Copies of this chain bind each other. A is one copy, B any other.
Amino acid sequence: MTTTAVRERILQATVRTLAQQGFSRTSARAIARTGGFAPGVIYYHFDDLDDLFVATIRHTSQVRMRRYESELDDVTSAVELLRRLRQLYDEDTAEGHIAAVQELISAAPASPRLVEQVRTETGVWQDFARRTIDRLLSGTLLAGLVPVAQLAKAAVATYLGLEMLTHLDPGRTDPHALFDAAAPAAAMLDTTRPD
């Protein structure tokens, strides 16, 4: 395997271990067991676990960002946007992304580098939200009226808060109900768009 392939395998095993066992049990040994490699492999590719966790939050954020970009980059209808966001959120859950991110954010206060990486990734997602909202509002009644940068920050904050509630209480928090509730507003927005 190439170095890149091995690194990616370690990063994926770290995401899965965080999601399934929680931060406190995500040792090098546990990650190695999940990935089916020797613990020493981790220390060949990463300085220490802190280094690995910083790389893991960057990795899972980038992987999901590529999916979000490819799914949303041609969407200009609010109804279609909601439909695809719901699917993407389901993928986020199924792939362990949400649980792993929540575990890393919980652990971050003890690691300045992890805090800094969370900040960087949050900024990347705010920029993405901003571009998506800009495209969505273009040509509608709301273009120019909505404070897009702040709305983008609020959207990312809402996503993080939903993640937190879903992670704490998987059985009772249903993000789908929020998507359903937003559907009428999305349909209304689409009617204000010129053909």
List chain A positions with a Cβ less than 8 A from chain B: 22, 24, 103, 105-110, 115, 118-119, 122, 145, 147, 149-151, 153-154, 156-162, 164-165, 167-169, 172, 177-178, 180-182, 184
Contacts and interface: CB of A to CB of B under 8 A. Distances in A.
Given A150-B177, A157-B158, A158-B157, A165 B22 contact: no
B147 A157 contact: no
Given A24-B110, A178-B150, A105 B168 contact: yes
What DSSP secondary structure best describes chain A's contact surface? helix
Contacts of A162: 157, 161
B105 A164 contact: yes
Contact of A159 (B24, B161, B184): B161
Contacts of A154: 158, 178
Nearest to A157: B161
A160 B150 contact: no
A55 to B, nearest CB: 18
A102 to B, nearest CB: 8
Nearest to A156: B161
A109 B160 contact: no
Contact of A161 (B108, B110, B160, B177): B160
